[in-house]
Amino acid sequence: MRGTIFAYHAIGECDRSDDPHNLFVTASSFADQMRYLADRYQVVSLQDLVERPHGSSRRVAITFDDAYRNVLVNAVPILEAHGFTATVFIPTGHLGGRNTWDPPSSCDLEIMSADDLVEAGARGISFESHGHVHLDMSVADPEEIRRDIRLSIERLSELVGEPPRYLAYPYGRSSVAARQVAAEEGFSAAFSIDALDAGTFAWERVQITPRDGQLLFSIKASGRYLRLRYSKPLSAAYRLFKPLVRR
């Protein structure tokens, strides 16, 4: 095993009825999860996990999709307290704006500005590509994907001074075309969410949601979660016991 990559989205308060995609992990839950990792795991950078894939299975890399400003406000201080680093995947066309690809919500879906990126970078956060307009690359045609990726690379190069190395597919899903374009455009790796590893350009990540209780979080941290989830006999058992491992 090569370690686990967590995929978070927003950190903060949001009523469950206004969070249909389970994006918001509360700051208190996030703090509990980081304490759990500090006691039992080695939290490393995404780059370390990618470039040393055969290191300890007890390594965990922390990532955030969509670059919500609440990550800077609520998550970064908790990460700093433990000396943890993290990677934020940015939809560059939405910087300084708001999530407009999901249904309207009263919850805090403001996206970091360029100034916020400067602050976050100074506090140990690294930035990679989440495309430009949050395009669903699993259904887009190759040229549309290529245009979107190139805009993202151009904008990120301007913002952080170097091109991104990694791509996280919006919505956590890819296609053969998307993986091919990602490789051709020079990324070192690309990442899905909650899908079994399909190679360097569909590297698995495990999503952490507000519905994860402590038991399920510990299973997700172990690196076995997705294989258990997609094993037919175990997935049937999981459906029976799911209420016990969720809040």
Give CATH for domain 4-245: 3.20.20.370
**Tens digits of pLDDT across the chain (247 residues):** 578 999 999 999 999 999 999 999 999 999 999 999 999 999 999 999 999 877 777 999 999 999 999 999 999 999 999 999 999 999 999 999 999 999 999 999 999 999 999 999 999 999 999 999 999 999 999 999 999 999 999 999 999 999 999 999 999 999 999 999 999 999 999 999 988 777 899 999 999 999 999 999 999 999 888 888 877 665 555 555 556 555 5
Domain segments of the chain as ranges: 4-245
Q: From residue 4, how far is each of 45, 61, 181, 189 by CA, in Å?
A: 11, 6, 25, 15
- The residue whose two tokens read 């590509």 is 129
Query: Is the whole-model pTM more than 0.85?
Result: yes
Helix residue ranges per DSSP H, the chain: 27-40, 46-51, 69-70, 76-82, 114-122, 142-160, 176-184, 214-221, 225-230, 232-245
